[in-house]
Structure 1
Amino acid sequence: MILNHKIKASEVQLTGVDGEDLGIMPTSEALAMAKRLKVDLVCTSMMSSPPPCRLMSAGAAKQEAGQERKKNQPSKIKEIRLTPRIEEHDYETKKQQAERILKTGDSVQLVVKISGKEGAAAKAILEELLRDLKPLGRPNSGIHVSGKQADVQVIPT
């Protein structure tokens, strides 16, 4: 993102504050218009000739660029570990963590550590968590119970 006087092109393809196309004009004229409207001249790409520029505030341009970057990033998988003998308060805390992660657009891997014959209890806890998280996410696959753990991945809806 290039702002104002750092734009070296002689002409720019200008878009107005409300998104209207103002056509191709000299950079000096576009800068004068930006100054008159009390906004910045923001060049979105230097790859074309003339480069496309917009009249907008620099803060809005940075925020828009940050949102684009966030959209282009692949979602991450974050793991939350539980135990089969979890208490109610701890369960609520883990549920809130999972909700917060799903709201940011990342996936959650819920893992319950098993020792002995706790497989059924672990599966019950995961089923309860899936019911509680249903408004924010859905399971990517079924609950896997194997050896020392039971797990399920929840992806945001």
Structure 2
Amino acid sequence: MITNEKIKATEVQLTGLNGEDLGVVPTAEALAMAKKLKVDLVCTSLMSSPPPCKLMGAGAAKQEAQQARRQEAKENCAPKVKEIRLTPHIEEHDYDTKRSQAERILKSGDAVMLVVRIQGKEGAQAKELLERLIRDLSGEGSKKTGIQLSGKQAAVQLDPLQ
């Protein structure tokens, strides 16, 4: 981001403090106007001629750039997969707690891996429990994979709805 005296163009397309268009102005005049108002002259893009510039409060340009960088980083990072472990013989209150945990995670934008520990012949019960959870969470997320039964656990991953 180029500010004040670092702007080398002879004239700029100037936007005022409140967003009003001030037209094409010589750079020296725009700098004088910025000093008079005690604000910064900020060049928003170098891709056009004359370059568009804004009059912005001191420090506001840096803050705006930081917010843009934070937002971009947030959009670029992949969603995390958070695991919730259950057992096939879960009581109703515990089930509700785990369901609300999964809802909260899905609403925050992360994926949920629901894992049910299996002992002996509990595979059918684990599958029923996962199917019930998928039905109950269908408003917040959709399943990425089918229910996978493997050895001592059954698992399914739910991704947040976009």
TM-score, normalised with respect to structure 2: 0.69
Equivalents in 1 of 2:107, 2:150: separation in Å?
Answer: 29
Unaligned ranges ≥5, structure 2 = none
Which residue in the other structure is 1:129 paired with? 133
Which residue in the other structure is 1:142 paired with? 146
Kindly provide the CA deviation profile for residues 1-47 of structure 1, in whole angstroms up to 9, marking residues without a partner as x.
Answer: x5856x834349768465979668638826945984x8766666789
Equivalents in 2 of 1:107, 1:52: separation in Å?
Answer: 41
Kindly provide the CA deviation profile for residues 79-102 of structure 1, in whole angstroms up to 9, marking residues without a partner as x.
Answer: 111111112222112111111111
Change (3 A) 1:68 1:61: same
- Corresponding position: 1:92 with 2:96: yes
Equivalents in 2 of 1:91, 1:31: separation in Å?
Answer: 67
Letter in 2 for 1:26: T
- Corresponding position: 1:102 with 2:100: no
Structural RMSD (CA)? 3.7
Structure number with larger C-alpha Rg: 2
- Give the aligned length: 154
Change (3 A) 1:21 1:155: farther
SS at match of 1:66: helix
Equivalents in 2 of 1:39, 1:22: separation in Å?
Answer: 18
Equivalents in 2 of 1:104, 1:20: separation in Å?
Answer: 39
The answer (yes or no) to whether the contact 2:30–2:41 under 8 Å persists in 1 is no
Question: Share of identical aligned residues, percent?
Answer: 52
Equivalents in 2 of 1:132, 1:60: separation in Å?
Answer: 41
Decide which moves more: 126-135 or 56-65.
56-65
Which residue in the other structure is 1:10 paired with? 8
Per-residue deviation, 1:108: 0.9
Kindly provide the CA deviation profile for residues 60-119 of structure 1, in whole angstroms up to 9, marking residues without a partner as x.
Answer: 553343222111111221111111111222211211111111112221111000011111
Unaligned ranges ≥5, structure 1 = none
Equivalents in 2 of 1:27, 1:80: separation in Å?
Answer: 62
Which residue in the other structure is 1:111 paired with? 115
Q: Aligned ranges for residues 52-63 of structure 1 at < 5 Å?
A: 57=60, 59-63=63-67
